[in-house]
Structure 1
């Protein structure tokens, strides 16, 4: 269910099912005696069609877009999406067909529909480049479109913008457009706080290049053993470039943090959101841990298996003939670190949507499970599972998650691939089930991820 497909579905379920009255933030209405904004001709229609997306944190984002940061609780929401929403609402308001609050809602939904499509395109291009497997790359992009966090890609949340910026920046890193990557990561850092972690891709790219340049030609394809020697060999120029790029990517984030500090200077996040190390580990939060469990298990188990195989490759031990895609190391480390942080220091139920919009690894591991293991000749039975310009390729995630015997994937399947394993069937049910159920619950004000 893409963001565009989710909009009519949420409209239907929003009107079929009664809304749940929660204690979540609701944008303040005009006080008694204050003039209320005059309704515009299309306000009612737009509210009927999109009202189900104006829930939970969407209230915060649209309130910030309309009124700015009026209270310290709003500082938990970064200004990237509100700024784009406000800009998109200007031409809508100019038509006089929509009032300002409704124009902001329509603008946010339209912006996210566009951004989610661009994010899928960036993920597809990144996957083709790294996995060397068009079929798995297409499956990863399709999984993003039917993400467990689909409703958050459609609603006025920052997931679509962050995914678009993050995946685009990663693609720029892989194509050596580092200044573009720094700019993308910089905007990502002012969209969500975990955007600062993306700087690691810039640093890794520069250091990896420097070390590779200093290796003898015959050993450039070999795996490097981690060593302080290699760190000291990195050139001053590369380190300086990494520092400049990192500062560029951090500039917007630092400016926003200074703004928040000067405006309120209060531990609002600690007081209002009660986040901190292991603070969420309470019995009453068990349902939220269960909600996040599928994503956490998929990412951590896949990452552990990949890192185990990577370690074997570093130690130059036999790998049972399975290839390891060494270029996926920084992506796997990023996904594992982000998952561990979310599980220990944040509201655990948001782990699903944070990972779904931050890391392509979730979709790569899931695509591996859907397609199943390869045959000895490096193929899965898919006609499109061949790299460009080569007849042999490494497996996408190097058998990241081992699977039992399975039926071959149909060569003529369209859309969703036929699951190659039982685990693949579970992955398919998980993605589709969360997309449908999440949209239904969210649009009626019920708690979701």
Structure 2
């Protein structure tokens, strides 16, 4: 029966974790005095659902909600937040307003947008939890412990360290759902590939691959790191001997980024005779400019004494990510891990590209981890990793090894993992309280 299946258990864990998250966060916001009371000015201002849910729109959430409300971008720095989530919030609010009776929904549009945003992020999270488990079954099917690693990994996602960001008006849940769904479609097609398959089978795989690319393109429209999903399609093309199909699909996944940049350019750089912004003459990339100008994104720009606490906040998740990358390189991309010359590196990349089941996940996590560690606001690593399946499979593998008492897991590594679990639990409960009271969090 479904209700006794692993999928149902994961869905139930995700639902319960959302209930705990919202209860802890919203009740604490009612009982405590927010650190920054300006957080209550928008979007709440009246005694209804908007006031209760308004803490979910703190920090970056206010920008997503404002973009949805005015159906566009108001200021230059708001272009740091991609339009996928605001578009979906607007669509859902329009559908709900046209289908449901007036007495069901809040009277104020901004409150309806807030409610729709909360529904989208929380439902997306539950779906993403189950999709990650199914993706794990598809990718890890050749491992003896594949089912248990996929199951425990999905449970770690369902009860996440980045807890509040999966329920607030943030993109993490939606992005993860789209990424996992797109990759599941792709690996369903890849696993069904046979060299001597019929034309009908090829057509079915091409259809799944197209659906995957469209879904991953939606992920790119939601978050810029969706571009890291493109290599999955390249590996798919190599594995299925269909690079001519894969190349346009890769371009489709990347397409939302240049379209978004072009849209921003049309807003600020196309007025002849007026003073343009500096980035208009520097390639027209508003996103890179904003990240550097407003968030100090750049090589070692974040390496200052006052940011030491932020590095400490990132240590638990960073340690798991680095471990997953190192193990992934040694197990699935051995040529890369031993590549000390340009020629050896190129050979390693080519060899890794043929391993369609493992290498793209290692690449995705490796680029995101080391870019964040070297160039970005490192404390956001806790929530950036939510879209990386390998991170959760590494957690699942650790946990499975410990509970099964397998050989090879030393005492030190076991103790270290329990220390991680302690931090994971603390972050899970502290995050909603900090965020919903407008206190700095990851």
Common fold by TM > 0.5 = yes
Task: Provide the residue aligned with 2:176 in structure 1.
Answer: 163
Q: CA deviation at 1:351?
A: 1.4
Task: Provide the residue aligned with 1:57 in structure 2.
Answer: 60
Alignment of 1:402-421 (within 5 A): 403-405=409-411, 421=414
Q: Pairwise CA RMSD of aligned residues?
A: 2.9
Alignment of 1:425-440 (within 5 A): 425-440=418-433
2:363 is the counterpart of 1:370: no
2:28 is the counterpart of 1:13: yes
Q: Matched residues in 2 for 1:137 and 1:121: separation?
A: 10
Task: Provide the residue aligned with 1:199 in structure 2.
Answer: 230
* 1:50-86 CA distance string (max 9 Å, x none): 1221210001000100012011111111110001111
Q: CA deviation at 1:48?
A: 4.1
SS at match of 2:358: helix
Q: Matched residues in 1 for 2:96 and 2:245: separation?
A: 42
2:138 is the counterpart of 1:125: no
Q: CA deviation at 1:204?
A: 1.3
Task: Provide the residue aligned with 2:375 in structure 1.
Answer: 345
Task: Provide the residue aligned with 2:84 in structure 1.
Answer: 80
Q: CA deviation at 1:136?
A: 2.3
SS at match of 2:255: helix
Unaligned runs of 5+ in 2: 1-15, 190-207, 270-276, 280-288, 338-354
**Conservation of the 8 A alpha-carbon contact between 1:7 and 1:50:** no
**Conservation of the 8 A alpha-carbon contact between 2:332 and 2:358:** no
* 1:96-117 CA distance string (max 9 Å, x none): 6410111111110011111111
2:298 is the counterpart of 1:272: no
CA gap of 1:405–1:131, structure 2 versus 1, over 3 A, is farther
Q: Larger helix proportion, structure 1 or 2?
A: 2
Deviates most, 126-135 or 265-274:
265-274
* 1:106-130 CA distance string (max 9 Å, x none): 1100111111111111101011222
Q: Matched residues in 2 for 1:314 and 1:349: separation?
A: 28
**Conservation of the 8 A alpha-carbon contact between 1:366 and 1:427:** no
Give the count of matched residue pairs. Answer: 365
Q: Matched residues in 1 for 2:373 and 2:68: separation?
A: 30
SS at match of 1:248: helix
**Conservation of the 8 A alpha-carbon contact between 1:115 and 1:160:** yes
Q: TM-score scaled to structure 1, two decimals?
A: 0.75
| Aligned with 1:141 (options 154, 157, 174) | 154
Q: TM-score scaled to structure 2, two decimals?
A: 0.76
Task: Provide the residue aligned with 2:325 in structure 1.
Answer: 303
2:114 is the counterpart of 1:114: no
Unaligned runs of 5+ in 1: 30-38, 211-237, 316-324, 375-379, 383-398, 407-419
Task: Provide the residue aligned with 1:424 in structure 2.
Answer: 417
Task: Provide the residue aligned with 1:101 in structure 2.
Answer: 110
| Aligned with 2:47 (options 36, 44, 47) | 44
